[in-house]
Amino acid sequence: MTPTAPQLDACFCPPGRPFPARRAPEDREEVLSAYRRIRALTLALVRPLAIEDYVVQACDEASPPKWHLGHTTWFFETFLLGPLTGKAPYQPAYVHLFNSYYESVGPYFPRTRRGTLSRPTVAEVLAWREAVDAEVLALAATLGHEAWEQAVAVMQWGLQHEQQHQELLLMDILANFAENPLRPAYCAPSPADVQPVDPIAWLPIPPGLHEIGYAGPEFCFDNEAPRHRVWIEPAAIAHRPVTNAEFLAFIEDGGYHNPRWWLSDGWAWVQREGRSHPRYWVPTEGGWAEMTLAGLEPLHPQRPVVHVSYFEADAYARWCGRRLPTEAEWEVAARCHPVTWGATLDDGTYHPTPPRGPQDHLLQAMGGVWEWTATPYGPYPGYRPPAGALGEYNSKFMNGQYVLRGGAAVTPAEHLRPTYRNFFHPHESWPFTGVRLAMDLDKGRAD
């Protein structure tokens, strides 16, 4: 039986262009409708799985699908129902099993061992999820104005958190399936697209003093603020991401075997891991193939390269005589040039598509692949973490990681915004991470 993409039509709102409309949902029914829709989408995403798929954890970074279903439910029970109702947890053991990393909530089960949990069963987790949803909706409908103001702030945070886990869920399914010699498919493949893409064009980034960061009444995560000023030197950014064909040239030139292109930690990582190509590329008798959520497919040269680490992205940029953009350059460029969208979770393709469009546009700056920047992940000037346990959400990870911008083919479109700061360790390549180049300018223009 050929797998098909989950039927998501009833579970998402098609995004606007160039960016999805974002405003603070003040109407109670609007918030509750968003809650039902986003929670339903998570269930739609696991529907193509076999029951055996729900417990697999193929690598330390990934989590089993069952754990995602439980953790996103734990979030609403812990941060919404508990504080507002004082009710005891649905099952006390779940407080420990489905806590991810919130030290202030209590001890948590080790991330690397989540795949050992055959119990609670999938049915038990789904029953818990249904019970929590019913309690949240019933409670929200009866809250007075002041309590509702408290609740809606947590609900917005929780729904954004769930959308992050929708992306992680698909990333982890791919990581699990890629380790299986049967090369199972989660969805049907997209039609092959053999039309060439345009050569990279260079878009100038206006030099001078700019403001970046979020400022407005709508939701943002704490790490997107405060808005602050940055200085941009003359530079240019590529109008599209790097493709598989372009990255293949780096491989064929011996890029993975030449320490000249690699940071010291990156070269040590290549040697230690025995890396010679992106994570999900597979050499076959007929040439390169790539493991995707549609199974093992021939490598499509025109698609953006994806599942490369920061080390690989940086090495490729050095090999090209270019560099990675800073996150400030990326955000300023996205505000100063027309932006087009790449694939998002809403499209149901679950893989980046060839970047095509006008050469004076920033192609696929939203969706497609998360784009590595040269900026270490840290706090903006004047940043203060939120009080309480949610202060652990972002602030405790501001060390040893790099910022990514844009979004990916597995990210819900309404979740994305130009100030969004994703972050991963430089060796990680299981996310949908890719490359957009930048370069310094002499005399104010590109060569």
pLDDT of residue 24: 54
Q: What is the DSSP letter of 345?
A: G
Contact by Cβ (8 Å): 366, 339? yes
Locate the DSSP E strands across 198-323.
202-205, 208-212, 228-232, 235-238, 281-284, 287-292, 295-298
Tens digit of each residue's pLDDT, the chain (447 residues): 334 444 333 333 333 334 444 445 568 999 999 999 999 999 999 999 999 999 999 999 999 999 999 999 999 999 999 999 999 999 999 999 999 999 999 999 999 999 999 999 999 999 999 999 999 999 998 999 899 998 999 999 999 999 999 999 999 999 999 999 999 999 999 888 889 999 999 999 999 999 999 988 889 999 999 999 999 999 999 999 999 999 999 999 999 999 999 999 999 999 999 999 999 999 999 999 999 999 999 999 999 999 999 999 999 999 999 999 999 999 999 999 999 999 999 999 999 999 999 999 999 999 999 999 999 999 999 999 988 888 889 899 999 999 999 999 999 999 999 999 999 999 999 999 999 999 999 854 544
Query: For 114, phi and psi rounded to 5 degrees?
Result: -60, -30
Domains 28-178 and 202-440 share a fold: no
Where exactly are the structural domains of the chain?
28-178, 202-440
For 214, 229, 331, 379, 400, the CA distances from 382, given in Å and listed in that order, are: 13, 11, 19, 8, 20
- Residue with tokens 């754990």, as numbered in its chain: 67
Q: What is the DSSP letter of 81?
A: I
The candidate with the shortest Cα–Cα distance to 287, out of 275, 303, 302, 299, is 299
The residue count of the chain comes to: 447
Residue 113, Cβ neighbours under 10 Å: how many?
A: 10
pLDDT of residue 193: 84
Q: What is the DSSP letter of 316?
A: H
pLDDT of residue 57: 97
pLDDT of residue 387: 87
Is this model's pTM higher than 0.85 or not? yes
Tell me which fold the domain 28-178 belongs to. Four Helix Bundle (Hemerythrin (Met), subunit A) (1.20.120)
Does domain 202-440 sit in CATH 3.90.1530.30? Answer: no
Pairing between strand 287-292 and 295-298?
Answer: antiparallel
Q: Work out whether the CA dihedral 62, 67, 73, 76 comes out positive or negative.
A: negative
pLDDT of residue 196: 93
pLDDT of residue 10: 34
Residue 387, Cβ neighbours under 10 Å: how many?
A: 7
Contact by Cβ (8 Å): 63, 174? no
CA 65/CA 62 separation, integer angstroms: 9
Return all residues near 229 (Cβ < 8 A) that are at least 6 apart: 209, 210, 211
CA 317/CA 312 separation, integer angstroms: 9
Token readout for 422 is 């994703």
